[in-house]
């Protein structure tokens, strides 16, 4: 698995709650480029940073910013996808395949759940993680090992309920377990500096910062 912290990456700023935690802000400050989902550009500017591109249907970008950044606006009026998906697709088309998403949670719960679930779609075409105010969400399409520290909190979500998951290195082991509801494999804990999951299907793994 690629460690996205060691390679040049693109940050997409979604239009949820703008990050305040040092870790997501650190990803922003060290990004090779920053792509905003239209309305998030205003919050980004308050940090002193500027977007390299603004992607979306522009329904939440004010006229002043639309004029100021006219040279980097990419309008996508397709109403069958949300602005985050439009930004990820645009990045993929541009060849920006290593992506960190911030600002995708924290406002409406339906948007939060939708954005998290979309990670399982995005990972088919890009290397992606979502960084929130409390941890990192990572989609997986195949058996993987994840670096961590002893005692780090871990939750596992299955997109495909028939997927059987076996874990190694977690306090509460899974043994060909079907994760039939969102709560079922939450609040686990790593025993060492990594844990691994064996499965066939699609998982989303949440690892708490501390």
Span 131-156, average pLDDT: 97
Indicate which CATH number applies to the domain containing 184: 2.60.120.320
More confident residue, 2 or 4: 4
Q: Is the pLDDT of residue 4 over 80?
A: no
Domain C-terminal end among 86, 101, 133: 133
Span 136-146, average pLDDT: 98
Kindly state whether residues 26 and 90 are assigned to the same domain: yes
> Whats the size of the chain, residue-wise?
210
Give which of 47, 85, 55 is closest to 73, Cα–Cα: 55
CA-to-CA distance for 197 and 194, rounded, in angstroms?
10
Give which of 138, 133, 12 is closest to 82, Cα–Cα: 12
Kindly state whether residues 81 and 164 are assigned to the same domain: no
Kindly state whether residues 169 and 69 are assigned to the same domain: no
Q: Is the pLDDT of residue 35 over 50?
A: yes
Total domains, the chain: 2
Kindly state whether residues 102 and 156 are assigned to the same domain: no
Span 60-67, average pLDDT: 91
Element of type H or E holding 24:
helix 22-29
- pTM metric for this prediction: 0.95
Token output for 195: 């844990």
Domain C-terminal end among 133, 165, 184: 133
| Band of pLDDT at residue 2, cut at 50, 70 and 90 | very low
Domain C-terminal end among 104, 133, 162: 133
Kindly state whether residues 91 and 149 are assigned to the same domain: no
Residue 104: which domain range? 4-133
State the pLDDT at residue 3.
55
Q: Is the pLDDT of residue 152 over 70?
A: yes
| Band of pLDDT at residue 1, cut at 50, 70 and 90 | very low
Kindly state whether residues 121 and 93 are assigned to the same domain: yes
CA-to-CA distance for 104 and 84, rounded, in angstroms?
8
Query: What separation in angstroms does the CA of 164 have from each of 33, 43, 176?
Result: 38, 41, 5
Indicate which CATH number applies to the domain containing 18: 3.40.50.10240
């Amino acid at each position: 698995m690629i460690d996205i912290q060691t390679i040049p990456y693109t940050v997409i700023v979604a239009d949820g709650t703008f990050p305040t935690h040092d870790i997501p802000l650190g990803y922003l400050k060290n990004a090779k480029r920053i792509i905003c989902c239209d309305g998030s550009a205003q919050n980004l500017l308050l940090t002193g940073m500027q977007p390299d591109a603004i992607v979306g249907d522009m329904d939440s970008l004010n006229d002043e910013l639309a004029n100021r950044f006219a040279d980097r606006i990419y309008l996508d009026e397709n109403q069958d996808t949300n602005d985050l998906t439009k930004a990820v697709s645009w990045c993929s088309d541009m060849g920006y395949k290593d992506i960190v998403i911030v600002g995708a949670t924290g406002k409406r719960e339906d948007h939060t759940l939708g954005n998290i679930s979309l990670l399982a779609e995005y990972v088919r075409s890009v290397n992606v993680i979502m960084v929130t105010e409390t941890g990192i969400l990572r989609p997986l399409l195949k058996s993987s090992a994840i670096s961590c520290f002893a005692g780090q909190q871990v939750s596992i979500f299955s997109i495909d309920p028939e997927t059987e998951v076996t874990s190694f290195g977690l306090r509460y082991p899974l043994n060909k377990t079907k994760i039939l509801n969102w709560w079922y494999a939450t609040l686990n804990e790593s025993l060492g500096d990594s844990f691994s999951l064996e499965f066939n299907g699609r998982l989303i793994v949440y690892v708490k910062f501390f």
